[in-house]
Copies of this chain bind each other. A is one copy, B any other.
């Protein structure tokens, strides 16, 4: 528990949220055959404050060289390691509606260590259908599948009113983390990690900004 708190302190959430953007820029340098990148380079590409970028990069543990910057390969390795994209994890996706299907089709997940082992749905019409190469399986088989395959990650794209009952099955099956795209707030035991992506929160902020900031 103390170790966990330590690691979370080491990498503040806002810094973690910026890492994928950094990685995208650094990789574009790597593809371009450029060996070094500076905090200022990254800051300029993203329109960020370079002091903030420098602080974030310092937390990665990679040391920059004066007037050269950071070695591109080292930074890529360090960031991928922090965000766990250098490992491979199997995941299940539950709820193959529009958003669930979109996520199944997103090729970027496998590059980031997430491989969908199966997709589940309650709708009998969807069972057996193939969505972006994944056959939709019936929800009743989900618990055994997760337990037998020792799957740790679930991506939840069911409607709000089906979320908690689905989560109860996932928790019962031994899932360790739920990436929640349903608008529901999930009740899970302390040992289970949840990460909520509430699109409507983003829309609310966007609309308030539109009402107050746009000219």
Contact partner of A214 among B16, B132, B193, CB < 8 A? Answer: B193
Q: Do A17 and B198 touch across chains, with their CB atoms under 8 A apart?
A: yes
B108 with A98: CB separation less than 8 A? no
Query: Is the Cβ of B7 less than 8 Å from the Cβ of A212?
Result: yes
Which residues of A approach B to under 8 Å, CB–CB?
3-4, 7-8, 11, 13, 16-21, 24, 45-48, 82-85, 98-99, 101-103, 105-106, 108-109, 112-114, 132, 152-153, 160, 176-177, 179, 183, 185, 187, 190-193, 195, 197-215
Number of copies: 2
Return 7 A-B CB contacts under 8 Å, by A number: A8-B209, A20-B203, A82-B208, A84-B210, A99-B102, A99-B106, A197-B199
The residues of B that contact A185 with a CB separation of less than 8 Å are: 21, 45-48
Bound Cα distance A5, B181 (Å) = 31
Given B98, B114, B152, B214, which contacts A203 in the complex, CB threshold below 8 Å? Answer: B114
Say whether B206 contacts A179, CB under 8 Å: yes
Is A20 a contact of B201 with CB atoms below 8 Å? yes
By a CB distance below 8 angstroms, the chain B residues around A103 are 98
Please tell me if the beta carbons of A193 and B210 are within 8 angstroms of each other in the complex: yes
* Cβ–Cβ contact B203 & A179, under 8 A: yes
Do B85 and A207 touch (CB < 8 A)? yes
CB-nearest residue of chain B to A112: B203
Contacts A84-B211, A152-B210, A207-B85; A200 near B20 (Cβ below 8 A): yes
B200 touches A112 (CB 8 A): yes
Given A17-B198, A20-B198, A102-B102, 10 additional A-B pairs, CB 8 A: A8-B208, A16-B205, A17-B202, A17-B205, A20-B204, A21-B183, A152-B210, A191-B215, A193-B206, A195-B202
